[in-house]
Structure 1
């Protein structure tokens, strides 16, 4: 049965508790698919569970957040306030890409990361982020989380070239390795269920997915095609044009070996919440005009998806043709 994009999450179909406690990711996914097929809907917390194991992450549309932990304007004013939902609620609402920006945490002897926006500590540690991700995946093993981990410069506790060593401490000393899928290729959904797919943006020689180098441009490497133009655009409509251009790029490259990433966030002219309000109607209008397309659009990180739940809903729905 083909599911309707428009109706996919408007009426929620609960996945049974028995499937959560007795089945692994594959069993959970099969249960979620049956529930979605029966009702034409899927709950946002389990939407990936209704998709087949063989589906590559490259062939999906994945909603995400930009500066995922920046939820409190007290941590750097409204200029660094990009989200209202915390990590746990983002995941429950269907967000599956997290933009995590870390550096050394004061008084932890180099063994822990804090989460930052430039020099502003956001009141949460990497330990806290991982705990919320783990708790979600334990309850929703059919899902996966794609995580960009960036070394945020400009902090007072810069670990420098030791960033990779601190991460290794998380993986091994602190025991987080089983929760990560560390791979240098885009996995299938079945391979990734119940785990965090890590993308590295820090100096390393690890055999994992690597974020493109550069800034404020259309960028690419062997893994990604990235649009993250956030400065130098005099009008919000010009950012909207960059977003829709990257959607068009993805649409024209459906068999690509690249994962398309398309940030809707924009730093110029106003606070993030103001810019999101200016940009997102044009993005939604573009999507509304292409609801019959049988395409995948890649990863779409946003500011304030709670204010733009129509776009979040549409992006999740896009995974059904």
Structure 2
């Protein structure tokens, strides 16, 4: 006797049973049902009180197996997937709970052809990546720490730094003037540990001064690069590298200014416009071109969502433009709403940014380049990683 598990990934109640042997039950959306099997049977499923019911069967199921019920909108029927099949199945809003059980994404870059420049890929990122421990409020934009983000497929980090005091050499992460209870060393330790375990990956790190007390972070930042623990961690070139050139490295995109003319990463210290969609070209001789949407003060989500869609449509339409596109799907807290409410809803926010972005990515699904997409609360509160999944899967045309 074995116990088969059926995980309902759909947004409907799913009735399931052993054909000819009964044992039927209902699995609620996002819940796991069980059924005792004494031998190999055929498993049946259908939607409850929905037309069409999408009835379907899978024969010769493993009596101790784990299976996933998903809705195939094209066939208008339920599918019963093995665990391997479920890991490859595209996310959709009908199957919102698929991401509850999907594999984490620590090695997705390792499967890509690395001969292309980083601006040729779709890359999920987080806005103000180090804010897990700020507490609820306008400074809180992430529910998970750096290590968890990397394991979940995030490959672009947005890090804002400041000194603890004017004379202290330690740098800490801040959101504006709000301390995030995270040191820069801890960020680097998380990145190093991840890359040591997943040497085929790379991490882009956009680094800026927090804009609070001690904006001149240059000397302190450089001191970290001289430490034995971190001296080989970064790619510090001024040109956009290929993925193969930076596997196992952190690629520095630098927004803070430095006092000399030395090369210290891809230089975005001049030309970053406030609350705009804009173009930026780094200094000669690198001349790296960027298109950036960062309309973080557009708290009318109709306006902000249109800006995001326009930016992504531009990225798709110009897939061979050799430009690094960065799109921020995030909105700063204000006008009575927190970043979480803008991202996932609450307080009457409509449209809601992250579900709307998911729907857009699904609509545009296929081998497309979306560039870097920066997110608040990328996977809600751990229950949904659909945006990251969609971005990662859009790179399938670049698989080895």
Q: TM-score range by the shorter chain?
A: 0.7 to 0.9
Partner of 2:296: 230
Of stretches 51-60 and 62-71 in structure 1, the one that deviates more from structure 2 is 51-60
Summarize deviations over 1:99-124 as a string: whole Å, max 9, x none.
Answer: 000011238x4322111011111101
Q: Extract unaligned runs of 5+ from structure 1.
A: 1-6, 13-40
**Structure 1 residue matching 2:321: 3-state secondary structure:** coil
How far apart, in 2, do the equivalents of 1:287 and 1:244 lie?
10
| Partners of 2:325 and 2:371 within 8 A in 1 | yes
Q: Extract unaligned runs of 5+ from structure 2.
A: 1-82, 89-101, 282-287, 345-351
Q: Residue 376 of structure 2 is aligned with which of 299, 303, 318?
A: 303
Do the aligned partners of residues 181 and 90 (structure 1) sit closer, same or farther apart at CA in structure 2, a change above 3 Å counting? same
Partner of 1:282: 356
Q: Answer yes or no: is 1:240 the counterpart of 2:305.
A: yes
Summarize deviations over 1:117-157 as a string: whole Å, max 9, x none.
Answer: 111111011000000000000000000000000111123xx
Partner of 1:313: 389
Q: Residue 158 of structure 2 is aligned with which of 94, 99, 107?
A: 99
How far apart, in 2, do the equivalents of 1:206 and 1:258 lie?
24
**Structure 2 residue matching 1:276: 3-state secondary structure:** helix
**Structure 2 residue matching 1:146: 3-state secondary structure:** strand
Do the aligned partners of residues 8 and 87 (structure 1) sit closer, same or farther apart at CA in structure 2, a change above 3 Å counting? farther
* Pair member with larger Rg: 2
TM-score (norm 2): 0.66
**Structure 1 residue matching 2:108: 3-state secondary structure:** helix
Q: Answer yes or no: is 1:48 the counterpart of 2:115.
A: no
Question: What is the alpha-carbon root mean square deviation over aligned residues?
Answer: 2.1
**Structure 1 residue matching 2:373: 3-state secondary structure:** strand
- Relative to its length, the structure with more helix (as a share) is 1
TM-score (norm 1): 0.81
Count of residue pairs the alignment pairs up = 278
How far apart, in 2, do the equivalents of 1:265 and 1:200 lie?
20
How far apart, in 1, do the equivalents of 2:104 and 2:252 lie?
25
Shift of 1:291: 1.3
- For 1:84-123, list aligned pairs within 5 A: 84-106=143-165, 109-123=167-181
The higher relative CO (CA closer than 8 Å, separation ≥ 6) is in 1
How far apart, in 2, do the equivalents of 1:297 and 1:118 lie?
28
